[in-house]
Amino acid sequence: MATTEINKPNGPVAAALLAGGIGSAVLGLATISVEASAAIKTALNWYNPVGSLMGKSSLGIIAFFLSWVILNTIWKGKETNFSRIAAIALVLVAVGLIFTFPPVWHLLLGGE
Amino acid sequence: MSANDLWTTTHGMVFGFIFLLGFAGALVGVYMMKAEWLTTEGTNANVNRLRVFLWLLAAAVWAAVFTGTYIVYPWYRAAPPEGLTDLANFPRYLLLANESTAFWHSFGMEWKEHVAFISPMAATVVAFVVQYYGAALTRKPEIRRWVMIFFTVAFFAAAVAGIFGAFITKAAPIR
């Protein structure tokens, strides 16, 4: 194994993990926003056969790739506080998981 | 087999299952990347296979969500013409028309269609990290641990989608 491989900076890896968290959180927030607001539901209906699912999922995917590019540009070639960034990423993933769970919508917004 | 059946099967039983079935093998592959367990030669051989495998799994789960969302889902949610009483060709409305099956849409489908998108993002992150560090991952236990956590999240999201997809298809197949 090459020494250079072991010594590779963790910045790009931290960027990828955090971007994954951001994408998931944006997906979750977009999902509950659509449940909360008819106007947002209409605004995210980018393609009628799929309804607002296209807008919600696309926002999450765009946030994922865009934040990855930006964070990678910032952290490329750098060492980061990986544990802390990974923990933040996991919290963001949890936000995505929580807000895509239908009982949470009903709990927060009322209704069945 | 109709075109609808073919696409529904391709979405779930091909792309979705490739990811779900491949998960355990890939997770073990990442777990086993410990310097004290492997020779240098073994590590290099393993990591090259694992890189290809993880990218294939990520591609499969992206394909599953895109075929599901843009090909199968429009058939599922299509609205019946007004006055139509036979809802067999309109699964969403068929499920909601009966109190005993409404759960499959209001909980199952609503959860599945959203949470599924977390899976390809997490799987892509995992594939990238293994691609980036390669054999050096054997000497980075903390990063390896986070890779396994992310990969498990990817599996959980895909498993929810897969399980509910199977039940919903059973309750109201797309014809």
Closest CA to B123 of B163, B156, B145: B156
- Cβ–Cβ below 8 Å for B150 and A93: yes
Instruction: Show pLDDT as tens, one digit a residue, over chain A (112 residues).
Output: 555 667 899 999 999 999 999 999 999 999 999 999 999 999 999 999 999 999 999 999 999 999 999 999 999 999 999 999 999 999 999 999 999 999 999 999 986 6
CB B111 within 8 A of CB B164: yes
Polymer length of chain B: 175
How many Å lie between the alpha carbon of B23 and the closest alpha carbon of chain A?
18
Most B CBs within 10 Å: which of A5, A22, A107, A109, as the mutation test of the B interface? Answer: A5
CB B164 within 8 A of CB B76: no
Mean pLDDT of B90-101: 95
Task: Report the pLDDT value the prediction gives residue B60, as an integer from 0 to 100.
Answer: 98
Amino acid at B48: N
Intra-chain end-to-end CA distance of chain A, in Å: 57
Q: Which residues of B touch A49 (CB under 8 A)?
A: 73-74, 77-78
In terms of pLDDT, which residue wins out, B95 or B44? B95
Amino acid at B70: Y
Amino acid at B61: V
Q: What is d(CA A43, CA B40) in angstroms, rounded to the nearest whole number?
A: 54
- The answer to whether ipTM exceeds 0.90 is yes
- Taking CA atoms, what residue in A is nearest to B111? A101
Residue with tokens 């075929």, as numbered in its chain: B67
In terms of pLDDT, which residue wins out, B38 or A92? A92
Q: Report residue B175 as tokens.
A: 């014809």
Task: Report the pLDDT value the prediction gives residue B64, as an integer from 0 to 100.
Answer: 98
Statement: residue B101 has pLDDT above 70: yes
Q: Which residues of B touch A27 (CB under 8 A)?
A: 114, 117-118
Statement: residue B93 has pLDDT above 90: yes
- Checking B143-146 for CB contacts under 8 A at 24+ apart, the result is B143/A10, B143/A13, B143/A82, B144/B30, B144/B31, B144/B33, B146/A17, B146/A82, B146/A86
Which residue among A10, A16, A97 places its CB closest to the CB of B125?
A16
Task: Report the pLDDT value the prediction gives residue B37, as an integer from 0 to 100.
Answer: 86
Q: pLDDT band for B46, please (50, 70, 90 cuts).
A: confident
